[in-house]
Every structure is written in structure tokens, then in C-alpha cells.
Structure 1
């Protein structure tokens, strides 16, 4: 078994929103992170998600309109995905692989920064992003996708071992969107499953509760159950992207897991 060398959780902007958006039956307000993750492997540098549009750190209303104020966006220049990659000593051109967990606007804002990279997305995701169901259309910013039309996109409707050594495995976990992906990262010290938006809160994982705006509730619950099984079989820690408890428990860049 081979391993990835290092994993960073890039520091994150936050939204404050109604918890009922994140999980059926939840109440009250929750402040959630929106991180991206950088993984160093001997054969490449992998970015899992790209957070918000970098320019929104300076002028969130210009980029996201009233949504920025409505969701209480907190976002600094230091948290821009490009600035954080550079702060860790890399150039943007060093990123060889970009994995889009899905294409909602809080994950797709920096896609345009990496035209040289190979992109991975779940099967059916790009078409859905450009022509979403009305109930979830507000979660997409189509300008983020349009900017990448000429990029090298690979659509996967299955699990994919990125480097062929079991260290970075793209997991097909549809339901939140048609092409939702998670990521298994094996390090020497521990294994992580990065969830994207396959699940949003710890309670939703343990109790198998979907999000109200999932594109397919049945598939969403099936994928949540799959994460729980993989947690056991891969001896992995599940890192739920938007869960504030996970964000408080685990360490963030410049700290790295090895």
C-alpha cells in the first residue's frame, strides 16, 4: 500500500444559515466552513474543491449579490484558494489534478484558476449544473462552470483510484447532486474520507438524514450509508466539509496531516 504524503485543509470562509437547509428536521442557525483540501502525492498535487470565487473576498455582493449578505459571508483575502496555495510554497501551476466534489457555488469558485490541470467530476454533474432542477437552481453559479468549458474534464460514474496505488481514491457518492463525489485519502498516520456535500452534519451521517435540497433523496441516503461502511472498512476518519464540529476538531493549513 502506498500513501499520499501530506494533506492540508485550507482555511475557510464561512456562511451562517438556517440549519434546516443542511439537514431535514434541523433547527436554529449554524455557521459553517467551506474549505478546500490540498493533497501532495509523489505523482502530483491534488486539489479537492476550490471554495468561493477569489474576488468575492474583496466585494462579495458584486460576485454573489444579495446572497452574500443573506448568508452572512465572512471571507478574507488570506482565505482565497490561490493565496493559500502560494502561502504553502506552491504555484497554481503545480496543481495537477482538481476534483470537484460537485458544482454548487461554494465549491466551484476557483475552478477557473487551473486550466492546466486534469479535472474530475461525477457523471452527469456538468449538464445538471448548466440546467439544474428549479428547486436547487440557486445553489449553482453557472459563470463558474462556463469559465471551464475548454478544460480537460473527466467524468466518472464509478470509484477511481487516481494514482493506481490506493492512496487517493475518488468515491462515487451521488444523491446530493447527480455527480457528487467524495475522496478517500490514505496517509501514513491516518486515513480520511473527505465528504464534499455527500453529507452535511455529524448527526446527518450517524442518523442517515438527507438534505432537503438533494437532487435524489434515495441516492443521497444510500451514499451516506456507504460513507459509514467505508469508514469501517478503510479505517478512516470522515471529515464532513461543512460540519462546524469537524472544522473545530481537525487542524487546518498551514498544519498538514502526513
Structure 2
């Protein structure tokens, strides 16, 4: 999870951390014993669940920007205040796979009670390098970029900060080793060759902007 503090748009999240309810009562959000075991919830150590963290911020949460709908990136959604807009990439909720069949109940449980997901309406990339791009606020501070196919709607975010531009890769690349060696994630990727192509495009983007900071899906 990454927090974006915009000077006029407030507090935004990219992905969601972990909800207190998932930590304390996983079955209440659709995590049956099989999914809980596969996710190794018994080994999960939560330093700060999303709900208490949001309370500590002292400001309302404006919106949530998802990189994709894998459960490790939406596990904090039960702590997101109801009616908060949540955005995801195109066709992210429509993908069909054996993995989605097994996890759909848990995904539905995590999203239950929230407003329907809003789908990014990407424009064509005028440079022809990515599948789609969107200036989120309209003044070039946050860009959403469509990068299938870790999942169909996988989205990365480029954020302009006082420290410079930051690329939030989601799980298009989730480890430092994968980034440095151009290796895409493994078995949980919908289309590994397509994911590898998107990763190469992101690396080319950073090569063109060498001062850009890269934040990976599972490692800083």
C-alpha cells in the first residue's frame, strides 16, 4: 500500500494494506480455511491494519486506486469507509481463470458493502508505448497507465512528488531481483509473455527518466 497526499485532493491510497477484520476474523470476509491456509494467514504479522492507520491520519480518505484485484492488494478494503470511490483497470472484474474460480468468494467478501468499482477510462497513449494512459487529476501530478497482463486490468501509477517522479509498479514487477533482471512474476500471472513485455516497457520508461524512483509490488 502507498499513500498519496495531494495538496488539494486529499489522501489517496494505491492498494489497501490489510484490514483489521481480515487479521482477526478472516472467515467474516470470505476467507475459508482453504484460502486462509494457501495465503499462510497463520504466519501473517500485521504491524498496523488499515482501519487504525486511517484513524491516525486525521483526514478523510478520498479515493482508492487499485493496481489489480489479487487478494494481497485488496485485503484492506473492509477498512475502507463505505462510499469511498475505488478505481481499477478495464476488465479487471471479468477475468476468468482457475485461480479466480477458487478466490472469487474471498474477493467478493473483501469488496462486500463497497460501492461498485469504477473502471479507468484510459485514453490512447499518444506515444504508442502503453495500452492506455490517464491523467488522473488533469494537471499531470498522477498518471494511471494500463499494463496488462499480470491481470487484464493491471494498472501502474506514475506520481510527481517533491522528491521527483515515482513509479508504482503493482505486481507487473513485484521484486527488486525481477526488476533488475527483467523477470515477470510467476504462476499468478495471467499471461507471462505479455507481462514480460509490459515490464520491459516500464524499464524503458525509467531508462528515459533515470531519476525516476521505482516502488515495486512486494518490495521497496
TM-score normalised by length of structure 1: 0.69
Deviation of 1:62 after TM superposition, in Å, equals: 5.8
State the Cα distance separating 1:84 from its structure 2 match: 0.9
Partner of 1:82 in structure 2?
Answer: 51
Call closer, same or farther: CA 1:87–1:200 in 2, change over 3 Å. same
Q: In 1, distance between residues paired with 2:89 and 2:203? A: 20
Structure 1 residues 230 and 207: alpha-carbon distance in aligned structure 2, compared to 1, 3 A threshold: same
Q: Residues 137-193 of structure 1: CA distance to partner in whole angstroms, max 9, x if unpaired?
A: 445522223433x43613344211111222111121111100011111111123221
TM-superposed CA distance for 1:136, in Å, is 4.9
Comparing both chains, which one has the higher relative contact order based on Cα–Cα distances under 8 Å and sequence gaps of 6 or more? Answer: 1
Gaps of 5+ in 2: 123-131
Give yes or no for contact 1:118–1:154 (8 Å, CA) kept in 2: no
C-alpha distance after superposition, 1:102-148 (max 9, x if no partner): 111111123352333332211000122xxx30145445522223433
Equivalent residue number for residue 50 of structure 1: 16
Say which of 119, 135, 152 aligns to 1:154.
Answer: 119
Matches within 5 A, 1:27-176: 36-44=1-9, 45-60=11-26, 63=29, 64=31, 65-70=33-38, 71=40, 72-76=42-46, 79-90=48-59, 94-112=60-78, 113-128=80-95, 132-140=96-104, 141-148=107-114, 150-151=115-116, 153-157=118-122, 158-176=132-150
Mark the runs of 5 or more structure 1 residues left unpaired by the alignment: 1-35, 247-258
Match of 1:229 in 2: 204
Contact map agreement 1:170 1:184 (CA 8 A) in 2: yes
Q: Aligned partners of 2:117, 2:150: CA distance in 1, in Å? A: 24
